[in-house]
Each structure stands twice: as C-alpha cells, then as structure tokens.
Amino acid sequence: MSATISLSYYPYIVLHNMGLIRILLAIAVLIGHIGAHTKIVGGDIAVEAFYIISGFYMSLILNEKYVGANNSYKLFITNRFLRIFPVYWIVLIMVVGYSLVSFLLQQPETPLHFYQQYAGQLGFVNTAFLLVTNLGIFFQDWLLFLGFNKTTGLLYFTTNFQAGNPQLYHFLFIPQAWTISLELMFYLLAPFILRRGIKVIAAILLISITIKVLLFNSGLNFDPWTYRFFPAELHLFLLGYISYWIYNNIRDKKINTIYLNGIFIMLCLFTLMYWVFPGELRQYVYITLVFTALPFVFLYTKRWNFDKYVGELSYPIYIAHNFIIAITKSLFPGSTYIIPIALISTIVFSILLNELVAKPIEKIRQKRLSKITAKA
C-alpha cells in the first residue's frame, strides 16, 4: 500500500511549517548581503518568495484562526506586531550600540556617521522622520523612492534612489527591514482582502500584475521598482492566497508521500541551485514553483518538529544578519571563510533571540487568543 498523508487528520495547531524552505530563503538574503557569488537563489527573488509565504500564512490564520470569538482586527494586528517588533527592537538596540562604538572608534560606514555628516542639512523634521521610521519600521520602503537635496534640506521623489547622494537607506540601522514595512502594510489590509473569496482576490491580483507590467514597460524595470513598490508586489502576497486556496481544496485528500517528497525536494534543489538553471525566465519559473508547491510542502512538513523549529529562526536570521555580518567583517577582515563564519554566527545569535525573546512573546500571543476563546 502506498504511503499517503491526509491533512484533515491533523488539527490546525501550529503555523511554523515549511521551516527548511524559509531558512534557505533567509540564508540566501544573508549570502547576497555578504556580496558572495553563489548558486543559491538571489536575495531579491528570496524576498519575493517570502511575500508569497506570508500571503499563504495570513490567508490560513485569518480564515482558520482569527474566526469566531477571535475575529478581531485589533487582536490580529496587535498579535502580528508582537511577532515582529520585540525581536526587531532588541536587534535595533544592539545595532545602535555597535554603531556608537564604531563611531567613537572612528570606524566609517555606520548610520551614525551619516547622521553626523548631514546633521546640519537634514534639519529637525527629516531627522525625526528617519528616527521614527527606524523605530517603527513603517515607511522604510519609502526611503527607496526618495532623495535628499543637500542644498534645500528637502526630501524629494526620485525614480532612482541609487543616483542620490546621500542615499537615504544609509540612515537605516537595520536596512533590510524595508521588506517588513511592506509586510506590515499587507497585515493592515489582509483582514479586508483575504476573506473575500477567490474571485475578488484574483481581480486584485490582476490589477497588481498590471501595475507591475506597466511600470516595466515604461522603463522602470530596475531597483526599487522591480521588487520594492508595494502596489506592484501585492500580487505576490495574493499568490500566497491562491496557494492557500489550493491547499484548502486538497487538505482532505490522500496524497501519495512520494509526490509530496518529490515536490519538496524539487523546491529545495531549485532554491539551492537557482543560478545553475539558464535563461532570464528562471525567476518567473521559480516564483511559479513556490506558490504552486506551498500547499503540498505545508502538508508534507506539518508533522516535522525540527522543521517547525528551523522555521522559527527565519525571522531572527533575516533581521539580525547584517548586524552579525558587520561584526564578522570587523573581526575577520579579508577572511576567505567570511561566509561560514557569518552564517554560523547568525544562526547561533538567532537561536538565542528565538529562545530569549521570540518564544516568551509567542506564549503571550497564544494566551491572548485563548483568553478570548474562553470568554466566548
């Protein structure tokens, strides 16, 4: 008899699945920020894959967890914020401390150096805006569509932030958190979108794709327009809903584990060997594979406790990796082993973050849900 898995056999309890895929994507971003040339999927494609996974999870919890007594917009948003901000703020405090030490030791290229260099030109309002977005994450992506006029002291819209001097992302202490800003905007919209059904989702998805195509055809086929403009990236989050819709239609079916194993291995291999595959269309093939494979990968990995734990590390790794890379490069300048040192150090640091910060916060989040359910 062929081995099969039926998702309906397992109660909906845990959301930290697909951990291996998520941590591979986080590692891809880390390697990209080190500047190494490898065969693993690039950081920009990894970010877009994360958007799809986020859309899948938000569709799942909004339609299955935040229902009945828990159907509260405030509860959903505050619980998402509890997931995001405590880990971010701990890392932010450490990064500011590290930047201060580097600043005092007159080591260049920390955000504090940029704040000092342009303090007289930024003015109070711009400085306050930069500090608030560092603290609150929101609007960090906006900095990638803005320039700074050193003569007038004003911020202005620009289609190419890389042409500016200074580039405003240098004022961010955790610059990769701009993606979390997009995530937060999606969270704010998700309860109003992801319960509307497949037809409404498909319509919004097509509008978002149309925006991206129009941008591309108008010559805006470069960073930041390729993967940082929220209206054009919204379709990726909604592809996650399509994945959830597929999952919802297969969850009660028995699926041969050979097929599930094959889909899982194929996605892992494509992620690890992305640059081996030729052609400019590979990124579209990869994104298609991600959103079509997610329902089956979720089903396949649901029982894996190790996969659950690995998945919990993906967010700490993503938030902390640039901080650890900076420390690693300062301690081992020019080392040929910078990638494994930074990778291992980031994983160890992320385990500590998860155990000391994320897990206690997770207990609070779950307790808030259980209290409301008990009152119903």
Backbone φ/ψ region at 107: left (φ over 0), alpha (ψ -120 to 50), beta: beta
- Domain encompassing residue 234: 4-102+201-375
Residue 115 lies in a domain: no
88 contacts 180 by C-beta, under 8 angstroms: yes
Q: What does the DSSP 8-state code read for residue 41?
A: P
Residue 15 lies in a domain: yes
Residue 176 lies in a domain: no
Nearest to 196 by CA among 75, 59, 83: 59
- State whether residue 348 is helix, strand or coil: helix
Which sign, positive or negative, has the C-alpha torsion 189, 191, 192, 195? positive
Q: Is residue 166 reached through a cis peptide bond, with omega within 30 degrees of 0 on the bond before it?
A: yes
Residue 5, pLDDT score: 36
Residue 178 lies in a domain: no
- With b for 16 or more beta-carbon neighbours within 10 A and e for fewer, the 157-191 pattern comes to ebeebeebeebbbbbbbbbbbbbbbbbbbbbeebb
Residue 167 lies in a domain: no
Residue 182 lies in a domain: no
Residue 223, pLDDT score: 93
Residue 171 lies in a domain: no
Residues in Cβ contact with 148 at an 8 Å cutoff, skipping those fewer than 6 apart: 118, 121, 122, 126, 154, 155, 156, 164, 166, 168
Residue 369 lies in a domain: yes
Structural domains of the chain, count? 1
Reading the chain (376 residues) residue by residue, the pLDDT tens digits are 334 333 332 333 344 568 889 999 999 999 999 887 778 998 899 999 999 999 999 999 999 889 888 889 999 999 999 999 999 999 999 999 999 998 888 776 789 999 999 998 999 999 999 999 999 999 999 999 999 999 899 999 999 998 888 999 999 999 999 999 999 999 999 999 999 889 999 999 999 999 999 999 999 999 999 999 999 999 999 999 999 999 999 988 888 889 999 999 999 999 999 998 888 889 999 999 999 999 999 988 877 878 888 889 999 999 999 999 999 998 998 888 999 999 999 999 999 999 999 999 999 998 888 766 555 5
CA 40 to chain CA mean position, Å: 17
Place of tokens 């200074």: 166
Residue 79, pLDDT score: 95
Residue 375, pLDDT score: 57
Q: Is residue 224 reached through a cis peptide bond, with omega within 30 degrees of 0 on the bond before it?
A: yes
